[in-house]
Amino acid sequence: MSICILGIESSCDDTSAAVICDGVLRSNVIASQAVHEAYGGVVPELASRAHQQNIVPVVSEAIKRAGIGKEELNAIAFTRCPGLMGSLLVGTSFAKGLATALDIPMVDVNHLQAHVLAHFIQDPGTPYNPPKFPFLCLLVSGGNSQIIRVEAYNKMKVIGQTIDDAAGEAFDKCAKVMGLPYPGGPVIDRLAKEGNPRAFALHKPHIAGLDYSFSGLKTSFLYLLRDKIKEDPAFIENNKNDLCASLQATIVEILMDKVYKAVKETGIKEVAVGGGVSANSAVRGAFEQYAARYGWTIHLPKLSFTTDNAAMVAITGYYKYLDHDFCSLDKAPFARVEL
Ligand code: KG4
Protein backbone atom coordinates (compact mmCIF):
# COMPACT_ATOMS: atom_id res chain seq x y z
CA MET A 1 0.00 0.00 0.00
CA SER A 2 1.43 3.36 -0.92
CA ILE A 3 2.02 6.23 1.47
CA CYS A 4 0.55 9.48 0.13
CA ILE A 5 1.43 12.81 1.72
CA LEU A 6 -0.20 16.15 1.00
CA GLY A 7 2.26 19.03 1.42
CA ILE A 8 1.15 22.62 2.04
CA GLU A 9 3.46 25.63 1.69
CA SER A 10 2.37 29.14 2.69
CA SER A 11 5.42 30.68 4.36
CA CYS A 12 5.77 33.78 2.18
CA ASP A 13 4.02 34.81 -1.03
CA ASP A 14 3.41 31.49 -2.82
CA THR A 15 0.45 29.29 -1.95
CA SER A 16 1.36 25.76 -2.93
CA ALA A 17 0.09 22.21 -2.44
CA ALA A 18 1.64 18.96 -3.64
CA VAL A 19 1.05 15.23 -3.34
CA ILE A 20 3.89 12.74 -3.03
CA CYS A 21 3.22 8.99 -2.95
CA ASP A 22 6.09 6.70 -1.89
CA GLY A 23 8.56 9.51 -2.57
CA VAL A 24 7.27 10.07 -6.13
CA LEU A 25 5.80 13.45 -7.06
CA ARG A 26 2.18 13.17 -8.22
CA SER A 27 1.29 16.88 -8.32
CA ASN A 28 2.70 20.29 -7.42
CA VAL A 29 0.41 23.31 -7.75
CA ILE A 30 1.63 26.85 -7.07
CA ALA A 31 -0.36 30.10 -6.98
CA SER A 32 2.06 33.03 -6.96
CA GLN A 33 0.77 36.33 -5.62
CA ALA A 34 1.04 39.14 -8.17
CA VAL A 35 -0.51 41.58 -5.68
CA HIS A 36 2.94 42.52 -4.24
CA GLU A 37 4.50 43.69 -7.52
CA ALA A 38 3.18 47.23 -7.12
CA TYR A 39 4.94 47.58 -3.73
CA GLY A 40 8.45 46.37 -4.64
CA GLY A 41 8.35 43.70 -1.93
CA VAL A 42 6.05 41.30 -0.09
CA VAL A 43 3.34 43.02 2.01
CA PRO A 44 2.63 40.54 4.84
CA GLU A 45 -1.05 41.37 5.36
CA LEU A 46 -1.79 41.13 1.63
CA ALA A 47 0.09 37.82 1.52
CA SER A 48 -2.09 36.31 4.29
CA ARG A 49 -5.27 37.40 2.55
CA ALA A 50 -4.13 35.99 -0.79
CA HIS A 51 -3.26 32.67 0.91
CA GLN A 52 -6.79 32.54 2.31
CA GLN A 53 -8.23 33.02 -1.16
CA ASN A 54 -5.89 30.51 -2.80
CA ILE A 55 -5.57 27.68 -0.36
CA VAL A 56 -8.82 25.79 -1.02
CA PRO A 57 -8.57 25.77 -4.84
CA VAL A 58 -4.81 25.03 -4.75
CA VAL A 59 -5.19 22.03 -2.41
CA SER A 60 -8.21 20.69 -4.36
CA GLU A 61 -6.29 20.98 -7.62
CA ALA A 62 -3.22 19.21 -6.18
CA ILE A 63 -5.33 16.26 -4.99
CA LYS A 64 -7.19 16.13 -8.30
CA ARG A 65 -3.99 16.22 -10.40
CA ALA A 66 -2.49 13.48 -8.20
CA GLY A 67 -5.32 11.23 -9.36
CA ILE A 68 -6.32 10.21 -5.85
CA GLY A 69 -9.22 10.88 -3.53
CA LYS A 70 -8.56 12.86 -0.34
CA GLU A 71 -9.44 9.76 1.71
CA GLU A 72 -6.31 8.11 0.24
CA LEU A 73 -4.02 10.64 1.96
CA ASN A 74 -1.99 9.23 4.86
CA ALA A 75 -0.84 12.52 6.38
CA ILE A 76 -0.72 16.27 5.85
CA ALA A 77 2.63 18.05 5.97
CA PHE A 78 2.68 21.83 6.34
CA THR A 79 5.35 24.51 6.64
CA ARG A 80 5.40 25.51 10.30
CA CYS A 81 8.46 27.76 10.23
CA PRO A 82 10.20 30.05 9.36
CA GLY A 83 8.18 32.62 7.44
CA LEU A 84 5.65 35.41 7.73
CA MET A 85 3.43 34.73 10.74
CA GLY A 86 0.11 35.53 9.06
CA SER A 87 1.01 33.46 6.00
CA LEU A 88 2.14 30.49 8.08
CA LEU A 89 -1.07 30.68 10.11
CA VAL A 90 -3.22 30.16 7.01
CA GLY A 91 -1.40 26.96 5.97
CA THR A 92 -1.16 25.65 9.54
CA SER A 93 -4.85 26.24 10.30
CA PHE A 94 -5.93 24.71 7.02
CA ALA A 95 -3.74 21.64 7.62
CA LYS A 96 -5.22 21.21 11.09
CA GLY A 97 -8.78 21.45 9.78
CA LEU A 98 -8.26 18.99 6.94
CA ALA A 99 -6.26 16.52 9.06
CA THR A 100 -8.98 16.55 11.70
CA ALA A 101 -11.73 16.07 9.12
CA LEU A 102 -9.87 13.15 7.48
CA ASP A 103 -8.67 11.79 10.85
CA ILE A 104 -5.05 11.50 9.67
CA PRO A 105 -1.82 12.72 11.31
CA MET A 106 -0.08 16.03 10.67
CA VAL A 107 3.62 16.55 10.10
CA ASP A 108 5.17 19.94 10.80
CA VAL A 109 7.94 20.96 8.42
CA ASN A 110 10.85 23.36 8.73
CA HIS A 111 10.98 25.23 5.42
CA LEU A 112 14.81 25.25 5.44
CA GLN A 113 15.01 21.48 5.90
CA ALA A 114 12.50 21.19 3.05
CA HIS A 115 14.76 23.17 0.67
CA VAL A 116 17.54 20.66 1.42
CA LEU A 117 15.32 17.59 1.01
CA ALA A 118 13.97 18.90 -2.32
CA HIS A 119 16.89 16.93 -3.78
CA PHE A 120 15.10 13.69 -2.82
CA ILE A 121 11.90 14.33 -4.79
CA GLN A 122 11.47 11.64 -7.43
CA ASP A 123 9.96 13.52 -10.33
CA PRO A 124 8.73 11.29 -13.17
CA GLY A 125 10.56 12.09 -16.41
CA THR A 126 13.54 13.64 -14.59
CA PRO A 127 16.67 11.58 -13.75
CA TYR A 128 16.87 10.78 -10.03
CA ASN A 129 20.42 11.19 -8.67
CA PRO A 130 19.98 12.29 -5.04
CA PRO A 131 22.98 13.35 -2.95
CA LYS A 132 24.70 10.70 -0.86
CA PHE A 133 25.07 11.30 2.87
CA PRO A 134 26.96 13.10 4.22
CA PHE A 135 26.75 16.10 1.91
CA LEU A 136 26.99 19.88 2.11
CA CYS A 137 24.12 22.08 0.98
CA LEU A 138 24.35 25.78 0.19
CA LEU A 139 20.91 27.15 0.99
CA VAL A 140 20.39 30.55 -0.60
CA SER A 141 17.00 32.22 -0.59
CA GLY A 142 15.41 35.60 0.00
CA GLY A 143 15.68 35.18 3.76
CA ASN A 144 18.59 32.77 4.33
CA SER A 145 22.15 32.06 3.25
CA GLN A 146 23.52 29.02 4.98
CA ILE A 147 25.95 26.17 4.52
CA ILE A 148 24.45 23.01 5.97
CA ARG A 149 26.16 19.73 6.72
CA VAL A 150 23.58 17.01 6.05
CA GLU A 151 24.17 13.66 7.77
CA ALA A 152 20.75 12.10 7.19
CA TYR A 153 17.19 13.08 6.24
CA ASN A 154 16.55 14.10 9.82
CA LYS A 155 20.03 15.18 10.87
CA MET A 156 21.49 18.44 9.59
CA LYS A 157 23.65 21.15 11.07
CA VAL A 158 24.19 24.74 9.96
CA ILE A 159 27.98 25.25 9.77
CA GLY A 160 27.90 28.75 8.28
CA GLN A 161 25.29 31.45 7.81
CA THR A 162 24.79 35.11 7.10
CA ILE A 163 25.35 37.52 9.94
CA ASP A 164 23.17 40.16 8.27
CA ASP A 165 21.42 40.07 4.87
CA ALA A 166 20.74 36.99 2.75
CA ALA A 167 22.07 36.63 -0.81
CA GLY A 168 18.55 36.96 -2.24
CA GLU A 169 18.04 40.16 -0.27
CA ALA A 170 21.24 41.58 -1.78
CA PHE A 171 19.87 40.83 -5.26
CA ASP A 172 16.42 42.23 -4.47
CA LYS A 173 17.51 45.38 -2.63
CA CYS A 174 20.18 46.35 -5.17
CA ALA A 175 17.62 45.74 -7.94
CA LYS A 176 15.19 48.03 -6.14
CA VAL A 177 17.65 50.95 -6.00
CA MET A 178 18.23 50.50 -9.74
CA GLY A 179 14.48 50.78 -10.26
CA LEU A 180 14.06 47.16 -11.36
CA PRO A 181 10.87 45.22 -10.54
CA TYR A 182 10.48 42.81 -7.58
CA PRO A 183 11.81 40.17 -7.13
CA GLY A 184 15.05 41.56 -8.51
CA GLY A 185 17.07 38.32 -8.58
CA PRO A 186 15.68 36.89 -11.84
CA VAL A 187 15.79 40.33 -13.52
CA ILE A 188 19.45 40.86 -12.58
CA ASP A 189 20.21 37.33 -13.80
CA ARG A 190 18.70 38.20 -17.20
CA LEU A 191 20.32 41.65 -17.60
CA ALA A 192 23.72 40.36 -16.37
CA LYS A 193 23.94 38.09 -19.42
CA GLU A 194 24.55 41.22 -21.57
CA GLY A 195 26.99 42.89 -19.15
CA ASN A 196 30.67 42.82 -18.17
CA PRO A 197 31.12 41.20 -14.74
CA ARG A 198 34.39 43.09 -14.21
CA ALA A 199 33.07 46.54 -15.09
CA PHE A 200 32.76 47.67 -11.44
CA ALA A 201 34.72 46.55 -8.38
CA LEU A 202 32.41 45.98 -5.41
CA HIS A 203 33.10 45.27 -1.76
CA LYS A 204 33.81 41.70 -0.70
CA PRO A 205 33.49 40.97 3.04
CA HIS A 206 36.20 39.51 5.28
CA ILE A 207 34.21 37.41 7.73
CA ALA A 208 35.86 34.67 9.75
CA GLY A 209 34.94 31.01 9.38
CA LEU A 210 32.08 29.89 7.14
CA ASP A 211 29.73 32.80 7.83
CA TYR A 212 28.49 35.23 5.22
CA SER A 213 27.76 38.94 5.13
CA PHE A 214 26.06 40.83 2.30
CA SER A 215 25.27 44.19 3.87
CA GLY A 216 28.69 45.70 3.01
CA LEU A 217 28.26 44.73 -0.62
CA LYS A 218 24.85 46.38 -0.63
CA THR A 219 26.28 49.57 0.87
CA SER A 220 29.20 49.67 -1.57
CA PHE A 221 26.74 49.26 -4.43
CA LEU A 222 24.65 52.17 -3.11
CA TYR A 223 27.73 54.41 -2.74
CA LEU A 224 28.87 53.56 -6.25
CA LEU A 225 25.49 54.58 -7.65
CA ARG A 226 25.38 57.75 -5.54
CA ASP A 227 28.84 58.90 -6.69
CA LYS A 228 28.33 58.06 -10.35
CA ILE A 229 24.87 59.62 -10.55
CA LYS A 230 26.42 62.94 -9.45
CA GLU A 231 28.55 62.86 -12.62
CA ASP A 232 25.90 61.37 -14.90
CA PRO A 233 22.22 61.41 -13.91
CA ALA A 234 21.54 58.65 -16.46
CA PHE A 235 24.33 56.46 -15.06
CA ILE A 236 22.07 53.57 -13.99
CA GLU A 237 20.17 53.51 -17.25
CA ASN A 238 23.38 53.64 -19.31
CA ASN A 239 25.18 50.95 -17.30
CA LYS A 240 22.38 48.63 -16.18
CA ASN A 241 23.78 45.45 -17.71
CA ASP A 242 27.32 46.02 -16.40
CA LEU A 243 26.00 46.90 -12.94
CA CYS A 244 23.92 43.70 -12.85
CA ALA A 245 26.79 41.57 -14.13
CA SER A 246 29.28 43.01 -11.59
CA LEU A 247 26.86 42.66 -8.68
CA GLN A 248 25.92 39.11 -9.61
CA ALA A 249 29.57 38.06 -10.09
CA THR A 250 30.48 39.45 -6.66
CA ILE A 251 27.58 37.67 -4.92
CA VAL A 252 28.53 34.40 -6.59
CA GLU A 253 32.22 34.81 -5.60
CA ILE A 254 31.25 35.49 -1.98
CA LEU A 255 29.02 32.40 -1.94
CA MET A 256 31.53 30.09 -3.61
CA ASP A 257 34.54 31.18 -1.49
CA LYS A 258 32.83 29.85 1.64
CA VAL A 259 31.49 26.68 0.00
CA TYR A 260 35.03 25.95 -1.19
CA LYS A 261 36.30 26.53 2.36
CA ALA A 262 33.58 24.25 3.80
CA VAL A 263 34.55 21.46 1.39
CA LYS A 264 38.22 21.86 2.41
CA GLU A 265 37.41 21.84 6.13
CA THR A 266 34.98 18.91 6.10
CA GLY A 267 36.54 16.85 3.32
CA ILE A 268 33.00 16.37 1.93
CA LYS A 269 32.94 16.76 -1.86
CA GLU A 270 29.27 15.91 -2.33
CA VAL A 271 27.76 19.40 -2.65
CA ALA A 272 24.18 20.52 -3.26
CA VAL A 273 22.54 23.92 -3.59
CA GLY A 274 18.96 24.96 -2.93
CA GLY A 275 16.62 27.92 -2.39
CA GLY A 276 15.43 30.66 -4.74
CA VAL A 277 18.91 31.97 -5.57
CA SER A 278 19.96 28.49 -6.76
CA ALA A 279 17.93 29.32 -9.89
CA ASN A 280 20.60 31.90 -10.74
CA SER A 281 22.50 30.97 -13.89
CA ALA A 282 25.86 32.25 -12.57
CA VAL A 283 25.47 30.30 -9.31
CA ARG A 284 24.72 27.15 -11.29
CA GLY A 285 27.61 27.85 -13.67
CA ALA A 286 29.99 28.35 -10.73
CA PHE A 287 28.95 25.00 -9.20
CA GLU A 288 29.66 23.30 -12.52
CA GLN A 289 33.09 24.97 -12.79
CA TYR A 290 34.06 24.03 -9.21
CA ALA A 291 32.86 20.45 -9.80
CA ALA A 292 35.06 20.15 -12.89
CA ARG A 293 38.06 21.83 -11.23
CA TYR A 294 37.97 20.26 -7.77
CA GLY A 295 36.24 16.93 -8.37
CA TRP A 296 33.03 17.77 -6.50
CA THR A 297 29.85 15.80 -7.13
CA ILE A 298 27.24 18.53 -7.41
CA HIS A 299 23.45 18.55 -7.16
CA LEU A 300 21.56 21.42 -8.78
CA PRO A 301 17.80 21.40 -8.15
CA LYS A 302 15.30 21.43 -10.96
CA LEU A 303 14.25 25.08 -11.46
CA SER A 304 10.67 24.41 -10.30
CA PHE A 305 12.03 23.21 -6.93
CA THR A 306 14.28 26.23 -6.31
CA THR A 307 11.66 28.75 -5.22
CA ASP A 308 8.99 28.01 -2.64
CA ASN A 309 6.95 24.93 -3.50
CA ALA A 310 4.96 22.33 -1.62
CA ALA A 311 6.69 19.36 -3.27
CA MET A 312 9.66 19.89 -0.96
CA VAL A 313 7.29 20.12 2.02
CA ALA A 314 5.60 16.87 0.98
CA ILE A 315 8.92 15.00 0.60
CA THR A 316 10.06 16.20 4.03
CA GLY A 317 6.68 15.11 5.40
CA TYR A 318 7.17 11.71 3.76
CA TYR A 319 10.50 11.06 5.51
CA LYS A 320 9.14 12.34 8.84
CA TYR A 321 6.09 10.09 8.36
CA LEU A 322 8.40 7.09 7.93
CA ASP A 323 10.00 8.11 11.27
CA HIS A 324 6.51 8.44 12.88
CA ASP A 325 7.49 12.03 13.62
CA PHE A 326 4.02 13.61 13.84
CA CYS A 327 2.81 16.82 15.39
CA SER A 328 -0.14 17.55 17.64
CA LEU A 329 -3.04 19.91 17.02
CA ASP A 330 -1.74 22.47 19.50
CA LYS A 331 1.43 23.22 17.49
CA ALA A 332 1.60 26.90 16.53
CA PRO A 333 3.66 28.35 13.66
CA PHE A 334 6.96 30.17 14.26
CA ALA A 335 8.18 33.18 12.31
CA ARG A 336 11.85 32.49 12.98
CA VAL A 337 13.60 29.24 13.62
CA GLU A 338 16.88 27.54 12.84
CA LEU A 339 17.30 24.07 11.47
O1 KG4 B 1 13.47 30.47 -1.74
P2 KG4 B 1 12.70 31.65 -2.19
O3 KG4 B 1 11.65 31.47 -3.23
O4 KG4 B 1 11.98 32.40 -1.03
C5 KG4 B 1 12.39 32.46 0.27
O6 KG4 B 1 13.16 33.38 0.59
O7 KG4 B 1 11.94 31.58 1.01
O8 KG4 B 1 13.77 32.71 -2.71
C9 KG4 B 1 13.40 33.95 -3.23
C10 KG4 B 1 14.67 34.68 -3.60
C11 KG4 B 1 14.43 36.11 -4.00
O12 KG4 B 1 15.36 36.92 -3.31
C13 KG4 B 1 14.70 36.12 -5.51
O14 KG4 B 1 15.19 37.33 -6.01
C15 KG4 B 1 15.75 35.04 -5.60
O16 KG4 B 1 15.30 34.03 -4.71
N17 KG4 B 1 15.88 34.50 -6.97
C18 KG4 B 1 16.96 34.70 -7.73
C19 KG4 B 1 16.71 34.08 -8.98
N20 KG4 B 1 15.47 33.52 -8.93
C21 KG4 B 1 14.98 33.79 -7.68
N22 KG4 B 1 18.11 35.34 -7.46
C23 KG4 B 1 19.03 35.38 -8.43
N24 KG4 B 1 18.86 34.84 -9.66
C25 KG4 B 1 17.72 34.18 -9.98
N26 KG4 B 1 17.57 33.64 -11.18
Most informative mutation of 30, 141, 174 for ligand 1 (most atoms within 8 A of CB): 141
Same domain, 153 and 229: yes
Predicted pLDDT at 123: 97
pLDDT given for residue 39 in this prediction: 84
Establish if 288 belongs to a structural domain: yes
Distance in angstroms (rounded) separating the CA atoms of residues 143 and 145: 7
The answer to whether residues 103 and 246 belong to one domain is: no
Flag whether pLDDT at 339 surpasses 80.
Answer: no
28 ligand 1 Cβ < 6 A: no
- Looking at the fold, whether 118 and 170 belong to one and the same domain comes out as no
Based on the fold, state whether residues 262 and 310 are members of the same structural domain.
no
**Within a domain: residue 221?**
yes
Mutate to test the pocket of ligand 1, among 171, 193, 254, 336 (most ligand atoms within 8 A of CB): 171
328 is a domain residue: no
Residue 34: per-residue pLDDT: 85
Same domain, 236 and 145: yes
CATH of the domain at 165: 3.30.420.40
Nearest atom within ligand 1 for CA of residue 83: 7
Of 18, 78, 6, 11, the residue nearest 51 (C-alpha)? 11
Q: What's the confidence (pLDDT) of residue 36?
A: 87
13 Cα–ligand 1 center, Å: 12
Ligand 1 mean position to 168 CA, how many Å?
A: 5
Same-domain check for residues 313 and 256:
no
Q: Do the domain assignments include residue 157?
A: yes
pLDDT value at 1 more than 90: no
Q: Please give the Cα distance from 77 to 88 (Å, whole number).
A: 13
Establish whether residue 12 lines the binding site of ligand 1, counting it when its CB lies within 6 angstroms of any ligand atom: yes
Domain presence at residue 193: yes
CA 173 to centroid of ligand 1, rounded, Å: 12
Are residues 218 and 274 both part of a single domain? yes
Specify if 339 maps to a domain. Answer: no
Give per-residue pLDDT as tens, 289-327: 999 999 999 999 999 999 899 999 999 999 999 999 999
Whether residue 278 is found in the same domain as residue 168: yes
Q: Check pocket membership of 168 for ligand 1, CB cut-off 6 A.
A: yes
For residue 33 and ligand 1, the question of a CB distance below 6 A is answered with no
The string over 171-207, giving b where at least 16 C-beta atoms fall within 10 Å of a residue's C-beta and e elsewhere, is bbbbbeebebebbbbbbbbebbeebebeebebbebeb
pLDDT at 38 (0 to 100): 82
Strand partners, 32: 14
Q: Tell me the β-bridge partners of 138.
A: 147, 273
Please tell me the residue having the least CA distance from ligand 1 atom 22.
Answer: 185
- Give the residue, by CA position, lying nearest to ligand 1 atom 10: 142
**Do 86 and 185 sit in the same domain of this protein?**
no
- The answer to whether position 311 is within a domain reads yes
Q: 98 and 44, same structural domain?
A: yes
Q: Are residues 147 and 266 in the same domain?
A: yes
pLDDT at 142: 87
184 alpha carbon – ligand 1 mean position (Å): 8
Pick the residue whose CA is nearest to atom 2 on ligand 1: 276
- 23 in Cβ contact with 122 (< 8 Å): yes
Tell me how far the alpha carbon of residue 275 lies from the centroid of ligand 1, in angstroms.
7
Q: Does the residue 338 lie in any domain? A: no
Count: domains in the chain: 2
What pLDDT, on the 0 to 100 scale, is given for residue 251? 98
Residues 82-136 pLDDT 10s: 999 999 999 999 999 999 999 999 999 999 999 999 999 999 999 999 999 999 9
Same domain, residue pair 117 and 158: no
Q: Which atom of ligand 1 is nearest to the CA of 11?
A: 7
Q: Could you read off the pLDDT of 180-198 as tens digits, one per residue?
A: 998 999 999 999 999 999 9
Each residue's pLDDT tens digit, 193-220? 999 999 999 999 999 999 999 999 999 9
pLDDT tens figures, 46-89: 999 999 999 999 999 999 999 999 999 999 999 999 999 999 99
Give the dihedral of Cα atoms 179, 181, 184, 187; nearest 10 deg: -100
pLDDT at 40 over 90: no
Domain limits at 42? 4-126+305-322
How many angstroms separate the alpha carbon of residue 231 from the centre of ligand 1?
33
pLDDT tens-place string over residues 243-278: 999 999 999 999 999 999 999 999 999 999 999 999
